[in-house]
């Protein structure tokens, strides 16, 4: 079923707006859509796209972190202020209980809106988190149970009662693994047909056309920043860029694409730590007309909901 207006949210972990210094900033080495810089400039955007820089510190001392940053994005409320600190990695019990009732996905479900989380997970991972999933576990449960933790995106989506997608659906072309192409998951035996970023964009657009809001999460950018690896950073950025440009080209009339991050990291490979830099928020389609309303991470969820009004 084609919805009247589809909104796509491409979340790219760990990308801030830093200096135009190609020695430490891979975003200064290419003409990427995410090549935004601290001076407010950046690469030209196709099809009338517009970009702003959003504060990720949110008035709380310390470096922004994933758990609270993502929870802020997915709720529209200031998670680090509520906790009194930035929380790294995965939400703890307190943050989970804070996020669940505030989740954008819960709000959309209450309004009768449909949402999709396009990322594909191993069945074993979903079972380890206590989430329903069809199919046999592809990975040993005893190993997965020790390693599986729910990210803020998982907590927020589960709060809306949505169905999580599996590697099996990625094999069928109805989901994508976080690396976009499927190569990394195939190293664990996922058996997903390798896809180019452009082919992966076609899969995501197909999912989005049947839902009001569709989320896709990519986090290899953050991993590259922590590793201080220029090679890994450029590889991840190239995939994300080809993927996002194909998404822009595939948007239908009235459809929106929002690309955003949660904190800085990859833009300064001189350190393994997150940065205090603002993060890019980029809008295409109708989102380009309202992205200027976003001043910090709390503005992203209200913008996404407004695009569906």
pLDDT tens digit at each of 309 positions of the chain: 667 679 999 999 999 999 999 999 999 999 999 999 999 999 999 999 999 999 999 999 999 999 999 999 999 999 999 999 999 999 999 999 999 999 999 999 999 999 999 999 999 889 889 898 888 666 655 566 556 789 999 999 999 999 999 999 999 999 999 999 999 999 888 899 999 999 999 999 999 999 999 999 999 999 999 999 999 999 999 999 999 999 999 999 999 999 999 999 999 999 999 999 999 999 999 999 999 999 999 999 999 999 997
Calpha distance 125→308 (Å, rounded): 32
pLDDT at residue 63 in the model: 97
Give the phi and the psi of residue 136 in degrees, each rounded to 5: -85, 140
Calpha distance 53→38 (Å, rounded): 8
Residue 229 vs residues 167, 205, 235, 252, 265: alpha-carbon distances, Å: 28, 31, 10, 37, 12
Question: Checking DSSP bridges between strand 256-260 and strand 50-54, what pairing results, if any?
Answer: unpaired
Structural contact between residues 69 and 275, judged by C-beta atoms closer than 8 angstroms:
no
pLDDT at residue 142 in the model: 58
In the block, residue with structure tokens 């997903």 = 192
| Backbone Cα Rg of the chain | 18
CATH classification for the domain delimited by 7-307, as one of 3.30.1330.10, 3.40.720.10, 3.30.160.70, 3.40.50.150? 3.40.720.10
**Domain residue spans of the chain:** 7-307
pLDDT at residue 139 in the model: 61
pLDDT at residue 127 in the model: 87
CA atoms 293, 201, 195, 105: torsion sign:
positive
User: Which tokens go with 264?
Assistant: 């800085």
User: Which tokens go with 52?
Assistant: 């702003």
């Amino acid at each position: 079923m084609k919805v009247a207006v589809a909104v796509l949210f491409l979340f790219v972990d760990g990308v801030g707006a830093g200096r135009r210094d190609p020695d430490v900033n891979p975003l200064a080495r290419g003409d990427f859509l995410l090549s935004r810089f601290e001076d407010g400039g950046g690469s030209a955007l196709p099809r009338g796209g517009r970009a702003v820089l959003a504060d990720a510190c949110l008035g709380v001392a310390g470096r922004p972190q994933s758990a609270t940053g993502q929870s802020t994005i997915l709720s529209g409320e200031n998670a680090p202020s509520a906790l009194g600190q930035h929380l790294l990695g995965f939400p703890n019990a307190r943050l989970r209980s804070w996020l669940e009732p505030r989740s954008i996905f819960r709000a959309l479900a209450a309004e009768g809106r449909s949402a999709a989380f396009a990322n594909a997970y191993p069945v074993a991972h979903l079972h380890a988190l206590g989430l329903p999933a069809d199919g046999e576990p592809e990975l040993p449960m005893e190993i997965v149970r020790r390693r599986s933790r729910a990210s803020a995106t998982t907590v927020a989506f589960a709060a809306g009662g949505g169905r999580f997608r599996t590697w099996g659906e990625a094999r069928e072309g109805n989901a994508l693994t976080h690396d976009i192409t499927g190569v990394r998951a195939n190293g664990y035996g996922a058996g997903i047909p390798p896809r180019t970023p452009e082919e992966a964009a076609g899969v995501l657009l197909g999912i989005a056309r049947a839902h009001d809001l569709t989320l896709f999460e990519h986090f290899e950018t953050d991993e590259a920043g922590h590793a201080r690896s220029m090679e890994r950073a450029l590889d991840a950025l190239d995939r994300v860029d080809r993927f996002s440009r194909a998404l822009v080209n595939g948007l239908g009339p009235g459809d929106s694409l929002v690309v955003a991050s949660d904190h800085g990291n990859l833009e300064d490979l001189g350190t393994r730590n997150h940065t205090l830099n603002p993060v890019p928020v980029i809008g295409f389609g109708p989102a380009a007309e309202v992205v200027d309303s976003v001043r910090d991470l709390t503005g992203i969820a209200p913008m996404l909901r407004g695009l569906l009004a």
